[in-house]
Amino acid sequence: MSADPLFAKTYHAVHPDMMMGASNADLHDRHAVTGLFRAGELVLTYSHGERFIIGGAMPGEAALDLPVQREPASAAGHPLLERRELGVVNIGPAAGTVTVDGVAYPLAKYEALYVPMGSRDVRFEGAGARFYLLSVPAHAAYPIVHMTLAGNPPMRRGSPETSNARSIHQLVLPHACQSASLCLGLTRLDPGSVWNTMPPHVHERRSEIYLYFDLEDDARVFHYMGQPDELRHILLGDGDAVISPPWSVHMGAGTSSYSFVWAMAGENQDYEDMDVLDICQLA
Ligand SMILES: O=C[C@H](O)[C@@H](O)CC(=O)C(=O)O
Ligand SMILES: [Zn+2]
């Protein structure tokens, strides 16, 4: 539940002690973001981690508009992006269009749009498109940027021998697209590779959200989280996201290969600001 009617659910910050001994249902309730993609709906949730708005828009035949703020009264009716920036990724299957203040941006599957603070009207169209939405508070307006995978060649990580060969596309990071705080990318596993983010890491200065997709209906990702010596897991399906607190490991293994969108915000935009963990220290 959420106090602000704009949001389907509010996710609170979680203390490390709360993860130890939590039931699987509580873990899911506190960290898994499900139900974002409903035909004909735009769904928003709110996380107290970096004040992320995590949402999904699945237009169907009718267009969907980003709503305006409702609370407090002084902000009611103002654009949602009055003091926020937005990242949009089309996770498919079909192409769609995002129109920002009258300018249309066709987004093929895997393409993304950075929408600056101050944008007023944001409209989503296209049957079969699923737009994943991530918004964080901003202090400055940067240019709108349409990102393609071809325009953002990947870093190659992992290998088939360790079942983790993958392409990491950095989409919203300072060298590719300026933003106030948001960092965003897309990682695709090679066929037959199932492990992401190996070796895993933590980054105390940013929290991170993963959204898994390109999974068949009966496939799952076992997403690991928690302190390195107190790991827990959550089972996620196609179109499900998971919120990692800044102190938490985030890595996963799937029952097939898959893709995921990663999004971070916090006090820096240095992708390399990670404490990489040795697999042998995990427990
Ligand atoms: O902090 C950065 C993120 O966790 C991801 O970029 C990691 C990732 O995509 C991978 O290794 O597959
Ligand atoms: Zn990370």
What Å distances lie between residue 283 and 104, 224, 230, CA to CA? 49, 11, 6
232: pLDDT strictly greater than 80: yes
**Cα–ligand 1 centroid distance for 124 (angstroms):** 27
Testing ligand 1's pocket by substitution, the residue of 170, 183, 262 carrying the most ligand atoms inside 8 A of its CB is 262
208: pLDDT strictly greater than 80: yes
**Cα–ligand 1 centroid distance for 170 (angstroms):** 9
Write the DSSP symbol of residue 281: G
200: pLDDT strictly greater than 80: yes
Q: Atom 1 of ligand 1 has which residue's CA nearest to it?
A: 271
**Cα–ligand 1 centroid distance for 249 (angstroms):** 11
Per-domain residue ranges of the chain:
10-281
- Amino acid 2: pLDDT: 77
Ligand nearest to the Cα of 272, by number: 1
- Amino acid 24: pLDDT: 97
Q: Atom 9 of ligand 1 has which residue's CA nearest to it?
A: 187
Retrieve residue 177's tokens: 């697209």
Q: What architecture does CATH give domain 10-281?
A: Sandwich (2.60)
Q: Atom 10 of ligand 1 has which residue's CA nearest to it?
A: 197
**Cα–ligand 1 centroid distance for 157 (angstroms):** 10
Q: Atom 8 of ligand 1 has which residue's CA nearest to it?
A: 197
**Cα–ligand 2 centroid distance for 189 (angstroms):** 16
**Residue ranges lining ligand 1, Cβ < 6 Å:** 157, 166, 168, 185, 187, 196-197, 208, 250, 262, 264, 274
Q: Atom 12 of ligand 1 has which residue's CA nearest to it?
A: 197
1: pLDDT strictly greater than 90: no
Ligand 2 (ion): residues with CB under 5 Å are 208
User: Please, which pLDDT band fits residue 3 given cuts at 50, 70 and 90?
Assistant: confident
Beta-carbon count within 10 A of 279 CB: 10
**Cα–ligand 2 centroid distance for 249 (angstroms):** 8
How many helices (H) does the chain have, and how many strands (E)? 2, 24
Q: Write the ipTM.
A: 0.99
Retrieve residue 66's tokens: 């980003």
pLDDT in tens, 78-108: 999 999 999 999 999 999 999 999 999 999 9
Using CA atoms, how far apart are residues 167 and 156, in angstroms rounded to an integer?
5
| Stated pTM of the model | 0.98
Q: Atom 11 of ligand 1 has which residue's CA nearest to it?
A: 197
Ligand nearest to the Cα of 171, by number: 1
What Å distances lie between residue 87 and 1, 169, 181, 183, 262, CA to CA? 24, 14, 11, 9, 11
Testing ligand 1's pocket by substitution, the residue of 168, 184, 223 carrying the most ligand atoms inside 8 A of its CB is 168
pLDDT in tens, 149-167: 999 999 999 999 999 999 9
Using CA atoms, how far apart are residues 125 and 5, in angstroms rounded to an integer?
24
